Amino acid sequence: MDRHRGCRLTWEELILENAMNHLSGFSLLLLVGVWLPSPSHAEAPRLADVLAQVRERTELPSIACVVFRGDKVLEEAAVGVRKVGSKETVTLDDQYHIGSLTKSMTATLAAMEVQAGEIRWDSTVQQILGPTIADIDGGYREVTLRQLLQHRGGVPHDPPGELWDALWRHGAQPAAANRAWFVAEILRRKPAQEAGRFAYSNTGYMIAGEMLETVTSRAWETVVRAKLCVPLGMKSAGFGAAASPGKIDQPWGHVKGKPIPPGPQADNPPALGPAGTVHCSVRDLAKYAAFHLREGTGKPRLLDPAAFEILHVPPPGEQTDPYAMGWLRVPRDWAAGDALTHNGSNTMNYAVIWLAPRRDFGLVVVTNEGRSEAAGALDQVAAAMVTKYCPPEKPSR
């Protein structure tokens, strides 16, 4: 893919689109609920061994995973190298780019601002951005924050090429300023479709992020760090490529086994922030996932349980497109009901979260490779851990 044209349609988005037809690729075990024999914990393979075997088969640079029940870590491991051709091995504290897993963070931040009374779910684009953006197209004026976060705001799947190219050219400028310019240009154009129809869109999350920046008077990056990452103890969280230019101090992203040097080409333009530029350690990602797993009943209690009902539940009647706010909600036997999931990729890294709230179980898996085979590899890891820790519940008599 032409880096300057892109990362506009990453293959993670293709997977999410296929997911509307029962989540493409996530092994037979998790795809249709067929159960493999469930070994005892003593017989089941250790996570570290699973990671090593999967990495050997798929030739990924590295894989890291944390499996947890509630706030308790069941297993955690990291295997592989930060950069193909180097000897620097990864650790559980290394920082991986998590791509569109960032979207649920933006939605979570929105829920916090709604709870604080700074904005409403039904606040419209015109109400929040109208005072600063002239000539918003009529098709966008009544689009709500809720619709944007559910990918139902009429926003195009891909932004116009000339606007995307401009973000690359202006990448050295402050992300918030570039984001404000880009959003204004989008909103002056006609929507791609009628509001209410599902269409996965990074741009929609950029608009939502701009609305949050307007009501808080602070950059999205500043607010999400202060209100979400710091309270959850996510000290490793940052934005863009994790590694320093000229160094192998963190995992490098890869495309088909080729390392991508840290720098502007190692991620999407910074303005994309609310849609997918966060990086963090797999341990810190697990803290964030556990926060959502407990749905407001764990600590810290940053949100009321009722907020998670909005964040985690798709619009009524949406069985074809079961997308909530940064989460896909899918029925799974092993989850004893619905599971929550999302993946993330900037085409150079890949990450996935699976949560089973009714079983108080979750896992996060990451790799520093962006080729499509990474999805299947991480699915193998997840399937092994689900088989180990979520055996079928015995029917009640």
Asked if the model's pLDDT at residue 1 lies above 60, the reply is no
The pLDDT value recorded for residue 396 is: 55
Q: At what angle do helices 282-293 and 102-115 cross, to 10 degrees?
A: 50
4 or 396: which leads in pLDDT = 396
Summarised one tens digit per residue, pLDDT across range 308-359 is 999 999 998 766 779 999 999 999 999 999 999 999 999 999 999 999 999 9
* CATH code at 11-117+234-389: 3.40.710.10
pLDDT per position as a tens digit, 57-88: 999 999 999 999 999 999 999 999 999 999 99
Angle at 25 between CA 290 and CA 366, to 5 degrees: 40
What pLDDT, on a 0 to 100 scale, did the predictor assign at position 225?
Answer: 98
Average pLDDT value for residue range 123-133: 98
Higher-scoring residue by pLDDT: 271, 6: 271
Per-residue confidence (pLDDT) for residue 44, from 0 to 100: 82
Which whole number is the average pLDDT over 193-222? 97
Q: Taking all residues of the chain, what is their mean pLDDT, rounded to a whole number?
A: 90
Classify 317 as helix, strand or coil.
coil
CA distance 389 to 199: 35
Considering only residues 42 and 277, tell me which one the structure prediction assigns the higher pLDDT.
277
**Whether the predicted pLDDT of 13 surpasses 50:** no
d(CA 292, CA 357): 9
CA neighbours closer than 13 Å in the CB half-sphere of residue 90: 35
Helix/strand/coil for 363: strand
pLDDT in tens, 275-290: 999 999 999 999 999 9
CA distance from start to end of the chain: 56
- The band of 18, judged by pLDDT with boundaries at 50, 70 and 90, is very low
Query: How sure is the predictor about 41, in pLDDT bands with cuts at 50, 70 and 90?
Result: low
The pLDDT, as a whole number, for residue 170 is: 83
Exposure on the CB side of residue 62, measured as CA atoms within 13 A: 33
Predicted TM-score (pTM) of the model is: 0.91
- Indicate if the pLDDT at residue 12 is higher than 60: no
- What is the per-residue pLDDT for 321? 78
pLDDT tops 80 at residue 7 = no
Res 25 pLDDT > 50: no
Residue of 364, 380, 374 lying closest to 75 (CA atoms):
364
Whole-number percent of the chain with pLDDT over 90 = 83
pLDDT bucket at 43, cuts 50 / 70 / 90: confident
More confident residue, 269 or 172: 269
